Amino acid sequence: MASFLSMIFRRKGQDPVTAGKHAVQRLLLMAVAGIAVLCALIFIQASDSTLGVYRVSWMVLCSLAVVYYYVLGHRKGELTTGRAVLCVLSTLVQMSVIYLINCAWLRVPGVDIWDKLLVLPYMLAPAVTAVLINRSMGVYVALCCSLFGIVFFPASHDIQFTTDYVLLSLLTGVVAVSICGHLQKRQQILYAGFKTGFVVYVTVLGLTSLHGGEASPFADGVDVSALLMGLLMAVGVNFLLAVIVNGVMPMLESLFGISTHITWLEWADMNHPLLKKLQIAAPGTFHHSLYVQRLAEAAAEAIGADVTRAGVCGLYHDIGKVKNPQYFAENIVDQSMSPHADLTPEASARIITGHVIEGEQMARSAKLNPRIIDAIREHHGVTTAYFFYRKAQDHYEAEYKKFQDGLSDTCPDEVDKSIFSYPGPIPQSRESGIVSMADAVESATRSLQHPTEDDIRNMIEGIFKGRILDGHLQDSGLTLGEIARMKEAFFITLRTMNHNRIAYPKAKPGDAMTLLAEKRGAEEKNADK
């Protein structure tokens, strides 16, 4: 089932489907389908057709209002098809649970309806959305649940109860979103359940106290056991919801192709099998990747991009080099013993450019995020392995000259540049663009011997100028202002990484330190005797 839905909502090499001429239609279809199901539940629950029509009308109007709010308050393209399905399904599940609770509540005589406010699942859909998408979408779903939930309560509930529900649902949803919006550990979701449950309890206690009358928990004096029972209900229900969210999160990530911040941090763990393999098989490439990670994180922070994603993509961008590590310069200790000396330029180029395809295959096998796979495919774009291309050109020119001079009977074939070009495509996202430039800058500055600040800055400027003129960054979404901030972030980071240590002067004969060292040496020598 998961693989089937993933095939529908994802394309090869992409996050949940964001492109294609039918993307908008799919989004609308998911929204309409979800609203249709909710309207059916509402109509079934209504005691008569007039009430059912009234509530369906409320649902449709609220749907139009929240869609309009989304269009005004969110960036274009933020809600992809997979994410739209997640939002609709989570909202549908929360409304269905409210519907079931109402049905069960009507069958239990003598139970205070105000206790229902303590056990409703306010945090379920907002927390799932905040964890798997972002905070803004979590607030959006909390607003949807608050408005849609009004029509699921029986007609016997007065306007006061309905108002309290809307206030409580929106407040609790926002609190859950604020806690779950940027998790560092999965255990934090459980803490969010405790905190949200306490917020629910305090809010219900305050609202019922303000209303006074029989609804007030202090109407007949302070009943400690009733207060404790209410607290246990609120905290217990929300903790159970947090456990459910924590348990289904990995399945939802796989189903919709969405990776949480926690998952990105797990991929950055140096004990990941691919990273451990890189450390052992290609230590030079591993250290290069660490530098690229640091540069990418600095650049991402400077332009407001996702720091964690950029850093993780930097870690994995050269993972394909573990296949033939001995052919890459950073893993060759003695360049005079390079294995490329025994290969033709074409064979060398195929090995060098092949690490992109091999890295992509390894990342897919390890089920890494599509954005990491994209960064691996795109970090060289369609550039040329120039060293070997120039070597092939020189060989061609030498052979052609021999042919012209009559020293050879065979006219050599012209060099096929495509053999020496990376498969591409050019970077299609800001993260890929950042990693691409971090890789180029780190490799180039590593070749500088004792670089000065001017050397580093000039090298960065030259690389960016060449890549911009080649159109390498034209599809990455990076603006000229962001590129300028990236260059400055690279310069500051490289200057720190390449700082020179102070040259300490050697001790002179007759110095106090020299005499003390000689004295200690003589004492140790006598002790040995």
Alpha-carbon distance of 155 to 17, in angstroms, equals 42
* Among the listed residues 183, 185, 149, 141, the one whose alpha carbon sits nearest the alpha carbon of residue 166: 149
Alpha-carbon distance of 227 to 203, in angstroms, equals 13
Q: What is the DSSP letter of 120?
A: S
* The last residue of a domain, from among 258, 289, 317: 258
The amino acid occupying position 106 is: L
pLDDT at residue number 3: 41
Per-residue CA distances from 52 to 44, 58, 153 (Å): 8, 10, 12
What tokens were used for 309?
Answer: 């994603």
More confident site: 478 or 503: 478
Alpha-carbon distance of 493 to 295, in angstroms, equals 7
**Does one domain contain both 280 and 227?**
no
Would residue 330 count as lying in a domain? yes
**Does one domain contain both 314 and 430?**
yes
Determine the average pLDDT of the residues in 23-35: 67
**Does one domain contain both 153 and 60?**
yes
More confident site: 58 or 345: 345
Backbone phi, psi, residue 55, to 5°: -70, -35
* Among the listed residues 390, 351, 372, the one whose alpha carbon sits nearest the alpha carbon of residue 308: 372
Beta pairing partners, 16: 10
Domain limits at 288? Answer: 263-385+421-497
What tokens were used for 226?
Answer: 């009733």
Would residue 204 count as lying in a domain? yes
More confident site: 111 or 7: 111
Determine the average pLDDT of the residues in 33-51: 72
**Does one domain contain both 250 and 271?**
no
pLDDT at residue number 396: 86
Q: Spell out the alpha helix ranges (H) of 257-324.
A: 261-267, 273-281, 283-303, 307-316
Q: Is the predicted pLDDT of residue 21 greater than 60, yes or no?
A: no
Would residue 403 count as lying in a domain? no
Determine the average pLDDT of the residues in 505-524: 55
Beta pairing partners, 384: 421
The 3-class SS string of 328-368 reads CHHHCCCHHHCHHHHCCHHHHHHHHHHHHHHHHHHHHHCCC
* The last residue of a domain, from among 230, 258, 286: 258
Q: Can you give the CATH number for the domain in which 291 is found?
A: 1.10.3210.10
Tell me how long the chain is. 529
More confident site: 503 or 436: 436
More confident site: 286 or 112: 286
**Does one domain contain both 173 and 271?**
no
Q: Is the predicted pLDDT of residue 519 greater than 70, yes or no?
A: no
**Does one domain contain both 272 and 139?**
no
Q: Is the predicted pLDDT of residue 142 greater than 50, yes or no?
A: yes
Q: Is the predicted pLDDT of residue 1 greater than 80, yes or no?
A: no
**Does one domain contain both 366 and 337?**
yes
98-123 burial: b if 16+ Cβ within 10 Å, else e: bbebbeeeeeeeeeeebbbbbbbbbb
Where do we find the tokens 């108002």? 163
Per residue in 120-133, pLDDT tens? Answer: 888 899 988 888 88
First and final C-alpha spacing in the chain: 81
* Among the listed residues 289, 298, 295, 297, the one whose alpha carbon sits nearest the alpha carbon of residue 316: 289
Lowest mean pLDDT among 97-101, 114-118, 354-358: 114-118
pLDDT at residue number 277: 94
Where do we find the tokens 């004969």? 509
**With 0-12 CB in 10 A as exposed, 13-18 as middle and 19+ as buried, what is 136?**
middle
pLDDT at residue number 286: 94
If one counts every other C-beta atom within 10 angstroms of the C-beta of residue 514, the result is 13
**Can you state the percent helix, strand and coil of the chain, rounding each to 5?**
75, 0, 25
Where do we find the tokens 């098809």? 81
**Does one domain contain both 108 and 150?**
yes
What tokens were used for 394?
Answer: 């020189």
Would residue 440 count as lying in a domain? yes
Q: Is the predicted pLDDT of residue 87 greater than 80, yes or no?
A: yes
Alpha-carbon distance of 140 to 444, in angstroms, equals 46
pLDDT at residue number 6: 43
Alpha-carbon distance of 325 to 339, in angstroms, equals 11
Would residue 61 count as lying in a domain? yes
**Does one domain contain both 376 and 448?**
yes
Q: Is the predicted pLDDT of residue 77 greater than 60, yes or no?
A: no
Q: Are 152 and 44 in contact (CB under 8 A)?
A: no
Give the H/E segment covering residue 523: helix 512-528
**With 0-12 CB in 10 A as exposed, 13-18 as middle and 19+ as buried, what is 268?**
middle
DSSP, collapsed to helix, strand or coil, labels residue 221 as strand
Q: Tally the domains of the chain.
A: 2
Q: Are 241 and 121 in contact (CB under 8 A)?
A: yes
Would residue 336 count as lying in a domain? yes
Determine the average pLDDT of the residues in 368-380: 92
Would residue 208 count as lying in a domain? yes
Q: Can you give the CATH number for the domain in which 196 is found?
A: 1.10.1760.20
Q: How many helices (H) and strands (E) does the chain have?
A: 21, 0
* The last residue of a domain, from among 198, 230, 258: 258
Q: Give the confidence band of 506 by pLDDT, cuts at 50, 70, 90.
A: low
**Does one domain contain both 235 and 320?**
no
Q: Is the predicted pLDDT of residue 332 greater than 50, yes or no?
A: yes
pLDDT at residue number 435: 96
Would residue 325 count as lying in a domain? yes
If one counts every other C-beta atom within 10 angstroms of the C-beta of residue 452, the result is 12
Q: Are 267 and 310 in contact (CB under 8 A)?
A: no
What tokens were used for 486?
Answer: 């990236």
Give the H/E segment covering residue 174: helix 159-180
**Does one domain contain both 247 and 344?**
no
Backbone phi, psi, residue 511, to 5°: -65, 155
Q: Are 30 and 90 in contact (CB under 8 A)?
A: no
pLDDT at residue number 210: 75
What percent of the chain has a predicted confidence (pLDDT) above 90? Answer: 28
**Does one domain contain both 142 and 283?**
no
Q: Is the peptide bond before 339 cis (omega within 30 degrees of 0)?
A: no
For residue 90, the Cα-to-chain-centroid distance in whole angstroms is: 21
Per residue in 192-243, pLDDT tens? Answer: 888 888 888 888 888 877 766 555 555 555 667 777 888 888 888 889 988 8
More confident site: 367 or 500: 367
Beta pairing partners, 10: 16
